[in-house]
A and B are shown apart, each in its own frame.
Chain A
Amino acid sequence: MAERLSPLEPVLRPGSRGQFENGVGVVLSEIAPGSIIQLAAWPGQEKAIIAAIKKVTGLALPDGAGGGVANGQKAAFGFAPAKFIVVDEAESISEALTKAVSPEVGTVTDLSHGRTAIRISGAKAAWVLAKFFAIDFSLVAFPVGAGRSTVHHDIFAQIQRSAPDQFDVYVFRSFARSFWHALCRASEEVGYEVR
């Protein structure tokens, strides 16, 4: 696969900033997974896609809108009816999924170069994200593993809660640098560390 260049490379500067005298409220990082894959099922083929994801990744997607799982190396979640995102540290997963999903069942689209994955973690993660996205970030409404599709002005985002205080935000790579700037600004008041 062609070498991937991060759109955040010119602006991502590790270190603590903002009001961090009393500790950092959030940690921001780019997670740069090897694969970000979108799968879409034809009508009636949703279960077959879920089975294919299980076969290839071992991840068992829970039933229901926005259901998902994350285990550190791999993650998967629903973001729209019959549509799923699968993320893996490994780069080769696109081929394995393409083999597992026949054209009669659905489609597999490799977005690894098209999305940038930004992780925001820490006690104030939901607080900071709530400034951007008008969705309910409470653990009850947005449980660990679940995915959400939402938007901040023109910046479309798919968000997975990968731990109680940790969110992985997938944005179009062309918007990633702009979103990163805004995210840093929004994190200043709680103190943030870039890793």
Chain B
Amino acid sequence: MLITCPYCGPRDVSEFTYQGDGNRERPAPASQNLDAWNEYVYDRLNPAGDHNEVWQHSGGCRSHLRVVRNTLTHEISSVVFARGHVPHRSPSRRGAKA
């Protein structure tokens, strides 16, 4: 699998570190909204298809990246710097049910 870093160009996946689901939104540190914390910590979409993810080019320029990866084919349809890009969030599992 290759990820095309916006700075370094196409690089082997071994140069990158997965930093988790890109759909999560961390509640404010002082938040006492337990549902929001529960959703942040536990709820995952686990889609079969395009997935918003956060990766770091840890073995390269060390930039944090927003990646859209297809979980069925590993096809990567979008890579942008995390800085300066508002994430495209999918509705959470809980939100999708409501």
**Residues on A close to B: CB < 8 A?**
43, 65-66, 79-81, 83, 134-136, 141, 148-151, 156
Q: How many A-B residue pairs have CB under 8 A?
A: 40
Chain B residues positioned under 8 Å from A151 (CB to CB): 15, 58-60
Of B6, B7, B59, B63, the residue contacting A150 (CB under 8 A) is B59
Of A65, A83, A156, the residue contacting B8 (CB under 8 A) is A65
A134 in contact with B7 given A80-B63, A149-B61 (CB within 8 Å): no
Total interface residues on B, CB under 8 Å, equals: 16
Question: Smallest Cβ distance from A21 to chain B, in angstroms?
Answer: 35
**Residues on B close to A: CB < 8 A?**
6-9, 11-12, 14-15, 58-63, 81, 83
- Kindly state the separation between the CA atoms of A56 and B8 in the bound complex, as whole angstroms: 27
- Contact between A79 and B61, CB atoms less than 8 A apart: yes
- Contact between A149 and B14, CB atoms less than 8 A apart: no
Which chain A residue shows the least CB distance to B62?
A: A80
- Contact between B60 and A150, CB atoms less than 8 A apart: yes
Chain B residues positioned under 8 Å from A43 (CB to CB): 83
- Contact between A149 and B8, CB atoms less than 8 A apart: yes
Chain A residues positioned under 8 Å from B63 (CB to CB): 80-81
- Contact between B59 and A156, CB atoms less than 8 A apart: yes
Question: Smallest Cβ distance from A37 to chain B, in angstroms?
Answer: 18
21 contacts between A and B (CB under 8 A): A43-B83, A65-B7, A65-B8, A65-B9, A66-B7, A79-B61, A80-B61, A80-B62, A80-B63, A81-B61, A134-B11, A135-B11, A136-B9, A148-B8, A149-B8, A149-B60, A149-B61, A149-B62, A150-B11, A150-B59, A151-B59
